[in-house]
Amino acid sequence: MSFSKFTIKDYVLIKKDWESLREAARRRCRSDEELAVVEQAYEFANTAHRNVRRRSGEPYMLHPIDVAKIVVSEIGLGYKSIAAALLHDVVEDTDTTVEDLRNIFGDKIALLVDGLTKIKTVLDNEDRKGTPVESLQAENLKRILLTLNDDVRVVLIKLADRLHNCRTIEFMPEHKRDKILSETMFIFIPLAHRLGLYTIKSEMENIWLRYKEPDAYKEISDRISRNVALRDKEIDEFIAPIEGALKRADISFRIIKRIKTPYSIWFKMRNKNVPFEQIYDLYAVRIIFDSNAGNVDAERQLAFRIYTILTGLYRSHPGRTRDWISSPKSNGYEALHCTLMSRAGIWIEVQIRSQRMDDIAERGIAAHWAYKNEGFISESDSSMDRWLAKVQEILVSPDVNSMELLDMVHKDLVTTDIVVFTPKGDQRTIQAGATVLDFAYLIHSHIGNTAIAAKVNMKLVPLSQVLHSGDQVEIITASNGRPKLEWLKFLQTRHAKNVVMDYFRANRPQFIESGRRLYEERLEALGIEPSKTLLRAFLEYIQVSDKDELFFRTGLGIIGPEVFRTVAGTGKYKQVREGMYVLAPCCRPIPGDPVIGFKRDDGSIMVHKKSCPEAERLASRYGNRVVVTEFSEERGGDFGVRVSLRGLDRLGLVNELTGYISFTMGINMTEINITSKDGVMEGYIELQVQDRHNLEVMLAGLQKIDGVQSVVRTDIQQK
């Protein structure tokens, strides 16, 4: 922030922005008295922030006004939340106290501002003396989550604040920008997802991509624009018969065209290792229908009636129908999805929603509870309440180390749930990827401890069997059954892992000793001398403060060899000296990649790709260690990358691929793994390149070889 006297132009700008907010607030307020409170909050904040400017040079007052606009227009909150958004920075940035606000605006608005101020304090003051950074970050997240139980509106306003900060992040210095964006990806985007704020989540994801992977963002955005220009008429031709059929069925509706976002395309390309051309659900059509019956059953019947009409017009993709109406997502999302083949030969996803479902999908928990308060009950109510109760359980659990909190809740935020059934048909919700044994512990700790096998859908399966939505599970126990160490290798839920670990804590000294020996043996195998600095790196990585707990978990088998390779940097840790760059083994950046650096205790800088999940985790914790790196092609040398390929096999194809890489490009290959089955060639090649430009030229050349359908850069798996 800076201070300089406002000009007439500044005052005009503020007034114009305020008038826009006032109009939106007027439509939301139920009376002139409520609107008067919003107006009073504006006048108070405008006076408090007079002559204060943001980094962009604009009047600071534009920020709280724009946050309040998001609160009312994109989240749909009421007058108290609008007022709190306008006032959210006055306690932190001026001499105003919470008590001052209480005297003027009443308890509720004062409490909302107080909650927002406390969140801002822990987010901004990461270098507070006497407080370890990791503990501060745990306090940060805990403060945010506690407000979910105090008043969820605090978190919703904070999300609006974070969204506006992301919209104006170009004015931040790079190291600060990286810290904010990583924190946004690690905490706020998953939080927006869990609270059902799809629009806010998507915008923050796209801003993240624009700055973390600018080349990918620009390329994908450009390809979307070109594709839309070519396909727009075809989409309209696809919609026309649908409109006609729904009108003939006397259904009140509206149709919206939607294009997949750059981030969602990039995420799918990276995770599925597919090129842009193989993103088949690039287009979506949303049908929003009106239901005047006032109950969920009538909505469902109408949604499936519309589905029947659609599949009568177009061929449906059998593997891409999603019924989120019968079993809503844990964030309250309800819709019926299907993917249809247009007459132009392209797959188009169709989302079928009632107006209520659309409100909840776009504005999340605020709309969800508004409908609930109006007596429009749906089965998704309990799923949201269950999740909030689960968060509360984690926060008050006495066995949670403060440094484990961030990872634990982050995992919970990004984990999706599935529905499974007991032998009697009772429905239970458990996280996706959970095993039969996780389910046993969900039922009761004693059932988990004595489990020996299970039946899933009447078939005998091992305890490590991964569950799928709709499975019916019967646990088989034995009176002499006991937990086994190998269970820790496949259990997925925190509760189940903790129960098993607690069982073995009776023999903790023996496991500590065996873990200590394993620790030393694994470092020796990597050619690394034990040191206090390295020990601290391990404690930071696994988020424990006690070395005995590190050795205990190593002895149990929870911390395996792959963790040692990650933390120790595949042997590079011993080579570090002041100012030296160390390439992160988890993402293996090459010159030309957008990178982020973290200063370590020994003075070295660990370099990650900006989009690396581990970099996001580190930046969300240790914002004070983020540095702008000078990692570039000037370093010289060759860097390892993996290229994954897929195509139609033919005689000589592999020779042509390797010949192009070796002789045309002059690039050294270190490993080739290509197989052919039923005429399809796929596999990978690991090679050494000079920089990203060198890699991209090679990829473009490989793509032109006859038979090659896709060629993409993928992560090298640690060995």
Active site residues: 92-93
**CA distances in angstroms from 445 to 104, 483, 503, 709, listed in the order given:** 52, 11, 11, 50
Work out the burial of residue 366: count CB atoms within 10 Å of its CB; fewer than 13 is exposed, 13-18 middle, 19 or more buried.
buried
* C-beta separation of 332 from 365 below 8 A: yes
All residues at 6 or more sequence positions from 155 whose CB lies less than 8 Å from its CB, including other chains? 144, 147, 148, 191, 195
* Contact by Cβ (8 Å): 662, 669: yes
Distances in Å between the Cα of 535 and the Cα atoms of 408, 514, 544, 568 are 22, 17, 11, 10
711 three-state secondary structure: strand
- With H, G, I as helix, E, B as strand and everything else as coil, classify residue 290: coil
Helices 152-167, 198-212: axis angle to 10 degrees equals 40
CA atoms within 13 A on the CB side of 256: 11
Question: Which residues have a Cβ under 8 Å from the Cβ of 410 and sit 6 or more positions away?
Answer: 141, 186, 187, 190, 617
CA atoms within a 13 Å half-sphere pointing along the CA-CB vector of 716: 21
Q: Which residue has the tokens 């931040």?
A: 172
Tokens 């023999």 label which residue?
507
Which pair of tokens denotes residue 80?
Answer: 């108290």
Is 390 exposed, middle or buried, given 0-12, 13-18 or 19+ CB atoms closer than 10 A?
middle
CB atoms within 10 A of CB 577: 8
